[in-house]
Amino acid sequence: MRYQVKPGQVSYGEAIGILLLENYVPYIPGDVANATSYSYPVRFQRVPGFSVARIMKHDMTVVEDLVRAAKSLEAEGVRAITGDCGFMALYQDRVAREVEVPVFLSSLLQIPFIRLTQPSGSKIGVVTANSRSLTEELLRTAGVPDPGELVIEGLEDTSHFARAVFEEKGGLDPELVEAEVLGAVEKIQKRDPAVRSLLLECSLLPPYGTAVREATGLPVFDYLSMIDYVYSAVVKRKYEGFM
């Protein structure tokens, strides 16, 4: 096999590009922004000035910065582009129109798929970083026309997660966050027993998916389940074995 250089590209083999908020939190293994969360190489691209406060306020002035960052990732050879905040659904359509590779910025994009895996009348529980910012308009941009099919619980009023993520206090205790996530899930299940699946919206929450699954027995979707799925579509596996 003979390989050919790609103009302007100085590294290779990173199929997934990830647009990052400028949020100073310890990103532990299992977090979208931790490279050891993946069994394959990824490429990160920080968007300067794109803070948590701006995205929670649905600031659309950042979209041009996102587009530039996405084009930079595309130029470096990634095959698909994602993000690290479910609220990036706000920018999904615009960014997808500006690049040639697949774009899947928000974990919320999984909701239409999850809905089709469940019987009619059942619900999807969503644990989100901020329930007050998860508006009907934002959900519609993620392909969710009926918010009534969701049972949403936010972490914005928790003592530890909120301090670590929104106030950027510099530290994060996974055991405390896990307890807060499980508390949110318990509220969801008490509020509506029709919940048949759970989605952890925030990119910091995949490390707690196992605990949620063990506590509930329900399917648990998160950012990494989406990223792994798309990776399997843009980098196909060759099968070997026997019969």
Strand partners, 127: 153, 200
Tell me if 152 is assigned to some domain. Answer: yes
d(CA 152, CA 101) in angstroms, rounded, equals 31
Q: Give the Cα separation of 146 and 152 in Å (integer).
A: 13
Looking at the fold, whether 77 and 102 belong to one and the same domain comes out as yes
Return the structure tokens found at 185.
């899930």
Domain membership of residue 169 as a residue range: 107-222
Quick check: is 3 in a domain? no
Residue 7, domain member (yes or no): no
Q: Do 147 and 209 fall into the same domain?
A: yes
- Which letter does DSSP use for residue 160 in this model? S
CB count, 10 Å around CB of 37? 20
Domain harbouring 43, CATH code: 3.40.50.1860
* Distances, alpha carbon 120 to alpha carbons 114, 116, 124, in Å: 12, 9, 11
Q: pLDDT per residue over 60-71, tens digit each? A: 999 999 999 999
pLDDT tens sequence across 8-51: 788 899 999 999 999 999 999 999 999 999 999 999 999 999 99
Q: Which residues pair with 17 in a beta bridge?
A: 43, 81
Selection from 158, 153, 210, 215 nearest residue 184 by Cα: 153
Tens-level pLDDT at each residue, the chain (243 residues): 888 888 878 889 999 999 999 999 999 999 999 999 999 999 999 999 999 999 999 999 999 999 999 999 999 999 999 999 999 999 999 999 999 999 999 999 999 999 999 999 999 999 999 999 999 999 999 999 899 999 999 999 999 999 999 999 889 999 999 999 999 999 999 999 999 999 999 999 999 999 999 999 999 999 999 999 999 999 999 999 999
Burial of 118 (0-12, 13-18, 19+ CB in 10 A): middle
Q: What is the pLDDT of residue 159?
A: 94
Q: Based on the fold, state whether residues 209 and 139 are members of the same structural domain.
A: yes
Please tell me whether residues 25 and 93 are part of one structural domain: yes
Its pTM stands at 0.95
